[in-house]
Structure 1
Amino acid sequence: MPKIFFATDLHGSEVCWRKFLNAAKFYDCDTLICGGDMTGKAIIPIVEEDGHFTYSLAGDHQRVTSDQVPDVEAQIRRKGYYPLRATPQQVQDLEQDAAKRQSTFREVMLEGVKRWMDLAADKLGGTGVRCFVCPGNDDEFEVDDVVLQAKGVELGEGRLIEIEGFTMISSGWSNPTPWNTHREESEEKLAGRIDTMAAQVPDMSHAIFNLHCPPYRSGLDEAPAIDADLKLMHGGRALRPVGSKAVRDAIDRYQPLLSLHGHIHESKGAVTLGKTLSINPGSAYEEGMLMAAIINLDAKKGIKSYQLVNG
């Protein structure tokens, strides 16, 4: 029976992706599921000038030799960013041309996704471990094409997937956010998207809903409140539910065995909504820490056990 390792919201952190792949052997899991928001958000230029390279990371400006650049690139990837070797003129061009900046980011980001897919193929090839990826609202649509071409990694978005007698549906789409991200839509459209997949599930007592956005007012969707200028209110101490009402309604109506979520990094937890165990393992990718859930499924018992882990 499946032993699932679920993690989400890696946001480009390569150390977290490597930990995710290593988890199959470490925890003896046969199924890896990476929830949405797998890509990073920014490029960090490593600028070549006068035989040296300079870069800025987390407000720290450094000057290194060419021999040190590979280590710097690895450090940048660990933080969830994408390194880009460039000349001062290239950096200036990017600063002055928004379209070029966007196209360069997309190119570097997709190279990063391809790199991750290759790491997965090398690590999981021949092991029998199934690895699923479902891009989230922060991930551009071109990411799906890279995943589809990967060996040893399966795309989850919009698909009905059989996992040893259990059925999983997946979507990385979210309800509207203040940031107007790539995959967000009205609650009505999100409900329709979920219903289309759920209608194909043969047995809800053996169903897994892998939906990036957590259910509304579930305790898995508490995020720091922000004002109209996107600034934290009350120093970030005020929390409010920001999950999806469509996701909550789908769980309440269909009552799948298990629902897996992410999106709200601060809202780690596991709750029972009727007959459904709903989990958001949280995310601390900025620290290089992988937060995850391990779920043991059983044909008769349903959920045999679960555990939230990090490391």
Structure 2
Amino acid sequence: MSRVGGVVVAGLLLVGAAVAWGQDALAVLTEIQVKRGKVEVKPADQGEWQVPKPLLSLRAGDQVRVVGEGRAVLVLTGGRGTQLVTQSNSPFTVQPGAAQGGSDRAKAVLGNVTNFLIGQPRERTYQSLSVRSVRAQPPLILAPRDTRVLPGSLIFEWAGSDRLKYQVRLRGPQDNVVWEQADLERKPLAYPSSAPKLTPGTKYTWELLTREHGVQRATFEVAPAADAARVSDQLTVLTPAAAGGYPPATLALMRAGLLFQETFYADARRELVQAIASSPEEATLHLLLGHVYDRTGLKQLAGNEFDEAEALSAPKP
């Protein structure tokens, strides 16, 4: 079994465990804004108000309150929509309720992604490392790496010095060179439509080369046509037109959650990076991006995102 294939099975097992663990959860906290205010929660079985962590799951009787200009967004389980909490409707008490209107398909997609978000770890598993060096760091492949990709969405991305010139080379399953391009600047490189068509269900290796640092390599798999069609169809549910009651940052988080769940880590990363550019102070986006980096072996970047999520959700003096 390929590594990506094994991750698919592991991901399905994780989702099953998450659903079982979160059966009594009625909502998940997807947005926390505390720059000019404060957000707190009080579990039904405890008497103290607490500072919530991103993606906190909420159960019947739990309360959420907002002070000042803060705000919180809850996504309700079962495709029941969202709840905005501000100072004007605080404290808000989480209660069971009927699902909003919409097709069974839409509710199933929304409910499945919500359960996935509920099951994500909220505690960091390791500390980030501060790296300080006067020496130039070697280039680092960001995406795609250890992931599936949707046909037509292949974009090569890496970190490195702007002073270097880069070469990208794509190799097929027989180590044959499929395509390459040289004398590149450090910026995202889309696989051109004029290049050889990639085969669904096939694993490829791409290489990033510089004269100064040699070769970096990463692998990815082009998703089988059936999987790509299924995921693309589900993504149509997670659009402003189809899910108008979901705020933009929350909708981006859910799209990334669906892609992460289906092991499309490069596409999930792209969704999150774009969302963070629009909502840089949203802690949950950084938290899920940290999990993407963790899953693809970029531990230092994961730690940085976990640090950022923790700092953004902490109370401001």
Scaled by the length of structure 1, what TM-score is found?
0.26
| TM-score normalised according to structure 2 size | 0.26
